[in-house]
Amino acid sequence: AAKRSGRNDIAVYDAKLHETYLERQQIEADLRKAAQSREFFLVYQPIFCVKSARVCGYEALLRWQSPVRGIVSPNEFIPVAEETGIIEEIGSWVIRKACKDAAALPEHTTIAVNVSPVQFRSRAFVSVVTRALQDSRINPNRLEIEITEGVMIGDAGEALKILRALKALGVRISLDDFGTGYSSFSYISAFPFDKIKIDQSFVRDLGQRSESLAIIRAVSGMCSSLGIVSTAEGVETEQQFEILRTEHCDTMQGYLFGKPVALNELNVSNADRVAAKVA
Ligand code: C2E
Ligand code: MG
Ligand code: MG
Ligand code: MG
């Protein structure tokens, strides 16, 4: 009986796998169409600077408004876009659009753009950034490229070359989701990071797990010793904000300050209210 149910499980599993496979195929087909028919748009989330008590930047976050699927989360479609190579086209659009939008935002603010490992290593990447900066005429130091630890996996020498080329343009580099991947001290000292973004999982657990506080304290201390800006992601409550401020996190991002919104809705963020409180 055990064997029979085992075989049955395999059949069910196969069917599921096949379903997943078909679903992927469909997403891929829809993504290709989406890239051509402008179904993508960017939303912006404010980044709050503790010292100046004001918004000092925005992170551009990609959204896909699909006619058949509704709004699709990047966590769902970015992996498919990466596997199929469509990410190069989408990612280039994101960089151009974010730079263009930055030109309409205050000069003292930065614009952060997420770049996936596949896009980062693609041949045209540095020239796409160069062109976007030229066309938008923004100061290159207003553009922040966010990469994850995944970028360093594989040919680290090649990754370093790309980072140096970006730095030569005047662009800033952030290490996103720090602490969730393959964190290594060797590349923090070897790579030219301007900012480290502490992953939101550590912030979420701040009240409950003393380990999270210890890790945030350590990362924040390391950043200030190395002259790297520290950012806490996913800050939702005033209690988290107070703890992170005590731990000298330089900048913070999360629903407490504002959710990601369209460019023309940016003024309605909570950040000003928080600023008034801490001032
Ligand atoms: P990320 O770069 O770490 O972005 C932060 C994510 O946390 C965003 O999710 C944001 O909406 C969410 N978030 C911000 N504040 C809070 C908060 O207080 N609480 C909670 N629970 N969540 C918060 P989103 O927009 O769904 O993006 C997910 C991920 O997709 C991003 O993580 C990034 O890795 C990727 N992504 C987004 N846009 C792009 C893009 O243009 N290109 C690439 N390659 N990846 C992108
Ligand atoms: Mg990011
Ligand atoms: Mg992150
Ligand atoms: Mg993330």
Digit-coded pLDDT (tens) for 68-86? 999 999 999 999 999 999 9
DSSP string, 4-38: HHHHHHHHHHHHHHHHHHHHHHHHHHHHHHHHHTT
| Spacing, Cα 18 to ligand 2 middle (Å) | 32
Nearest atom (ligand 1) to Cα of 113: 41
In this prediction, residues 2-18 reach a mean pLDDT of: 66
How do strand 54-66 and strand 110-114 relate by DSSP bridges?
A: parallel
Tokens found for residue 234: 């996913």
The three-point CA angle 275-232-222 to 5° equals: 120
Tokens found for residue 272: 């000003």
Q: pLDDT grade, residue 278 (50/70/90)?
A: confident
Closest listed ligand to the CA of 64: 1
Ligand 1 pocket member 73 (CB < 6 A): yes
The Cα–Cα gap between 143 and 181 comes to 24
Ligand 1 pocket member 45 (CB < 6 A): yes
The three-point CA angle 248-241-255 to 5° equals: 130
ipTM passes above 0.90? yes
In this prediction, residues 219-230 reach a mean pLDDT of: 97
Ligand 1 pocket member 78 (CB < 6 A): yes
Q: pLDDT grade, residue 267 (50/70/90)?
A: confident
**pLDDT cut 90: percent of the chain above it:** 75
Ligand 1 pocket member 13 (CB < 6 A): no
Which residue among 45, 89, 90, 114 is best mutated to probe the pocket of ligand 1, counting the most ligand atoms within 8 A of its Cβ?
114
The Cα–Cα gap between 120 and 144 comes to 13
* Cβ within 8 Å of residue 153, ≥6 positions away: 117, 182
Given a cut of 90, whether residue 237 has pLDDT beyond it is: yes
Given a cut of 60, whether residue 5 has pLDDT beyond it is: no
Given a cut of 60, whether residue 4 has pLDDT beyond it is: no
- Using alpha carbons, select from 195, 197, 161 the residue that is nearest to residue 177: 197
Please give the distance of CA 179 from its chain centroid, rounded to a whole number: 14
Given a cut of 70, whether residue 53 has pLDDT beyond it is: yes
Ligand 1 pocket member 151 (CB < 6 A): no
- pTM value is 0.92
Ligand 1 pocket member 62 (CB < 6 A): yes
**CA nearest ligand 1 atom 42, residue:** 114
Ligand 1 pocket member 249 (CB < 6 A): no
Given a cut of 80, whether residue 224 has pLDDT beyond it is: yes
Q: Residue 252: its pLDDT value, please? A: 98
In this prediction, residues 32-43 reach a mean pLDDT of: 91
Determine contact, residues 39/65, Cβ cutoff 8 Å. yes
Is the C-alpha dihedral spanning 114, 118, 121, 125 positive or negative?
Answer: negative
Given a cut of 90, whether residue 121 has pLDDT beyond it is: yes
| Spacing, Cα 250 to ligand 2 middle (Å) | 16
| Spacing, Cα 139 to ligand 2 middle (Å) | 21
Q: pLDDT grade, residue 216 (50/70/90)?
A: very high
The Cα–Cα gap between 69 and 138 comes to 35
Q: pLDDT grade, residue 1 (50/70/90)?
A: very low
The Cα–Cα gap between 265 and 68 comes to 26
Given a cut of 50, whether residue 2 has pLDDT beyond it is: no
Q: List pLDDT tens digits, range 198-214.
A: 999 999 999 888 999 99
DSSP string, 197-255: EE-HHHHHTTTT-HHHHHHHHHHHHHHHHHT-EEEE----SHHHHHHHHHTT-SEE-ST
Q: Which residue has the higher pLDDT, 126 or 272?
A: 126
Q: Residue 9: its pLDDT value, please? A: 72
**CA nearest ligand 1 atom 8, residue:** 61
CB neighbourhood size of 29 (10 A): 11
Ligand 1 pocket member 231 (CB < 6 A): no
Q: Residue 17: its pLDDT value, please? A: 75
Q: Residue 39: its pLDDT value, please? A: 95
Query: Mean pLDDT lowest for which of 13-17, 27-31, 242-246?
Result: 13-17
Closest listed ligand to the CA of 253: 1
Given a cut of 70, whether residue 269 has pLDDT beyond it is: no
Ligand 1 pocket member 150 (CB < 6 A): no
Ligand 1 pocket member 177 (CB < 6 A): yes
* Cβ within 8 Å of residue 225, ≥6 positions away: none
